[in-house]
Amino acid sequence: MNKSNWKQQVTPFQRKVYEAILKIPAGQTRSYAQVARMIGKPNAARAVGQALKRNRWAPQIPCHRVIASDGALRGYSAPGGLKTKLRLLRREGAKMV
């Protein structure tokens, strides 16, 4: 993945979201609300979800590490959907699964 290339292909909001999730260590998760707070937009959890839905660089930009506040996996638009999200999290050793 050419990191500078993806930055030119997304909106400023998406860039903030993707840069934030790139900081989530492998094996850890954050909620959509936590990501919203990370980017300084505490009321934008749904918008974070929409930005992640448009992530064409998964799993290199690890949107699989973002889950619902209640611990549920919720959507994953990469091939394989939630099964792939769960597999990636398990491979990384995430404790929530």
Whether 50 is catalytic is no
Catalytic-role residue among 20, 36, 45, 63: 63
CA 32 – CA 78 distance, rounded (Å): 17
3-state SS class at 15: helix
State yes or no: cis peptide before 59, omega within 30 of 0: yes
Distances (CA, A) of 93 to 9, 45, 82: 31, 25, 16
> Residue 30 forms beta bridges with which residues?
66
Q: Please list the active-site residues.
A: 63
